[in-house]
Structure 1
Amino acid sequence: MGILRPALVIIGASTQLLPHTYFLERYRKFRARYDFEDNEIPVRGDIQRRFDEVIDDINLLSCSSKIEKEHIKLFNVHDIEVFHAGSLYTKFGGVVGIPANFEYENINSITDGTISIQYPSLNWDLEAIKEFHSSLVLSENAQKFAMAREIIKVATLDPIYKFCNVLGDMIIAIAGYDLLYSKLNGTKQQKGIQAFCISITAIATFFLTALTHSTLDTYREKEVNEIMSELDSKYIQGGVEYYEKLSQKNKALRVLLGTRGTYLYTPTGNQAGLFGISTKLPNSDQINYFQTRLQNISSQLV
């Protein structure tokens, strides 16, 4: 056990770091979108142009470190959410994944070949489907807002922070297990006590890690919001639209996914957290935040 414990701690913590460093390219390929011949679908030229423009806009901010375009890669992600991985503070750089709906110009652009909901007990509510499709169409401002948000997150040390977080939590877990085991006077022959101690320690560690991750993610969301507010007002307008569309999509999925939808999403379009623990600020709060920023800009212009 003397060698096994440190090994388990390092392996457990490394799951938070390796996909963002040494295995970043493999992780990117796993999340990428492919055609029917298993070829990765390249990013469309106009979308790449918007991405480059966003980096240029962020680099104009005095509160932001300068971002080298060659250190961050844009790709098509197989999902309906924007995605990021890696960190610009490592030699591996970062990646930002954009979903297929960034290519949509209107609802007529949507096809089952690019967006479909694979769920056996899907509730085919026509109004909800219409709302879902409408939520996928984003303006250029909303797309650039979403890209900027992910770029700013890549320009942080979050993967390293989370590695240290899990490392610390697992050390605490082992110490907690030893303390509980000794209090119960457990021996190697008492398998029931061992199982009880492992179960209690595992549950406590899960909640501890979830809470600390949630705290970091929430802090990062607020920090990103402050940085985004320093950008052009078009980004703020894009932020309002982006979160309104995200809320609209969640409300539609709440209906379409039936029982599972009511578990995943709230009636107001927010994402429900596991056991009440959420890693994201509610969409309703985000909408209010950027609407307030827009109102402040308008009042200053009067």
Structure 2
Amino acid sequence: MSHIRSKVAVRNNWTTSNSGRQVSFYLASFATCGTLLGNVLPHIGGVPYYVDFVRLYNKGFAVPVPDKLNQRFQRVLDLLKIDKDNKMRFIPFMACGFDMFSAGTLGRFGIHIGLPVNFTYDNVENIDKSKIKLNEQSVIWESDAGKRLLNALIVPENGQLYAIAKEIKMRDSYKLFFDTFYATASVFLTYAGSVTLNQRLNLYSKPRSLRILGYCLIAFVNTANYVMLKDLTQHIYEEKIDKELKELSPIFAEGGKQFYTQILERNKALRVLMGKEGEAKYTVLGNENFLIRTKHLPLVQRKAYFEEQESSSETSLLS
């Protein structure tokens, strides 16, 4: 028994020794660099692999972007007044699922915009219902929720133009670098704060459990700050981009209302069709349900912002 205790004591002494602290420093440096590269690499050198992972395939082959979607994509670039030399840096592709996707940055690797398959739907009749599954189960299309989902998958052209423009503006911004800074700083400050706490309170001479408690508290504070700053930045950019697009063109102003109307209707239908999982994922109004965080502005709020133009114009006509 005394032999076991002596081993534990040696191990405790090593973790507080100079060599133990040096190893901790190297591990913290590795974690900080890993966090930095993990946030940036998928959008620079790793973007081709990232895009291939979410790309839509059919029988093992990548599904090409239809001509009509390519034309709409180019129209968005024209409406956004993208320089002719930079247009080739924006690359559309067909993505899995029914949500927009984007990756990359303006540079040699370009910005890749994933277009959902439902952007190819013109009407309910040309939807291949057999390919749409919910939790690997077929959808009861004859139900009210099934019919609502079908109608919600049809996004009008202006709504598609807005959705593409929104992703381009978000990706062509500094948000990626803010998010990377927040994550990297959070990891670094957790280590730096732990070292400072140990030195200020002389925790190296105290029980290990006390040091672990201090580390957990510092990690919790830094994680909370990271989440708060990341979500706040997301909200700021979403408001900023919606404002810019609404003022830039009436096409985007109308498209924003159309897009969020369809997304909200889709979420309401999914809430019913997915049962308890749908109730946990979406609210009655169609907003996304978040347990603690609010990762995005409420969809109802974003839709209402684009509807303000109509209400104000009607008021001015009446006056």
Aligned-residue offset at 1:228: 0.6
On the 8 A contact 2:140/2:146 being kept in 1, the answer is no
> Any idea what SS the aligned residue of 2:103 has?
strand
Q: How many residues align?
A: 295
Matched, 1:28 2:56: no
Contact 2:152 2:266 in 1 (8 A): yes
Indicate yes or no: 2:34 matched with 1:11: yes
**Which amino acid in structure 1 is aligned with residue 56 of structure 2?**
R
Counterpart position of 2:122: 105
Superposition CA RMSD, Å: 2.7
Task: State, as a whole percentage, how many aligned pairs show the same letter.
Answer: 25
Deviations 1:44-84 (A, max 9, x none): 01100000011001107xxxx77722101100111211111
Q: Which residue of 2 aligns with 1:75?
A: 93
The answer to whether the 8 Å contact 2:283/2:289 transfers is yes
Q: Which amino acid is 2:65 matched to?
A: V
Deviation at residue 113 of structure 1 after TM alignment:
5.0
TM-score by length of 1: 0.88
TM-superposition CA deviations, 1:98-157 (whole Å, max 9, x none): 111001111222224543222579899922222122111111111111111111112112
Q: Secondary structure at the match of 2:300?
A: helix
TM-score normalized by the length of structure 2: 0.83
Secondary structure (helix, strand or coil) at the match of 1:75 reads strand
Select 1:265's aligned residue among 282, 285, 307.
Answer: 282
Q: How does 1:132-171 map to 2 (within 5 A)?
A: 132-171=149-188
How far did 1:239 drift? 0.8
Instruction: Trace 1:1-302 onto structure 2 (pairs within 5 A).
Output: 1-36=24-59, 38-59=60-81, 68-88=86-106, 90-112=107-129, 114-118=131-135, 126-181=143-198, 186-187=203-204, 190-275=207-292, 277-297=293-313
2:14 is matched with none
Note the residue ranges of structure 1 that are not aligned, 5 or more in a row: none
Task: Determine if contact 1:72/1:94 at 8 Å carries over to the other structure.
Answer: yes
Shift of 1:297: 4.8
Q: 1:189-208, CA deviations, whole angstroms, 9 ceiling, x for partnerless residues?
A: 94534543444344333322
Output the amino acid matched with 2:281. L
In structure 2, what residue type is equivalent to 1:250? N
The Cα offsets for residues 138-183 of structure 1, whole Å up to 9 and x where unpaired, read as 1111111111111111211222221112121222222333345557
Structure having the higher Rg: 2
Q: Which runs of 5+ in 2 are unaligned?
A: 1-23
Could you say if the C-alpha distance between residues 13 and 301 of structure 1 is closer, same or farther in structure 2, counting changes exceeding 3 Å? farther
Q: Is the 8 A contact 1:75 1:95 kept in 2?
A: yes
Distance 2:165 2:187 in 1: 34
- Give the conservation status (yes or no) of the 8 Å contact 1:100–1:115: no
Structure 1 residue 293: deviation in Å? 2.0
Partners of 1:273 and 1:30 lie apart in 2 by 26
State how far apart, in whole Å, the 1-side matches of 2:214 and 2:310 are. Answer: 53
In the aligned structure 1, how far is the partner of 2:194 from the partner of 2:55?
40
Q: Distance in 2 between matches of 1:154 and 1:264?
A: 26
Q: Contact (CA 8 Å) 1:55, 1:67: kept in 2 or not?
A: no
Most deviating of 200-209 and 42-51: 200-209
Give the secondary structure class of the aligned counterpart of 1:17: helix
Structure number having the greater helix percentage: 2
Higher relative contact order (CA 8 A, sep 6+): 1
Residues 121, 147 of structure 1: alpha-carbon distance in 2 compared, 3 angstrom cutoff? closer
1:3 CA drift (Å): 2.1
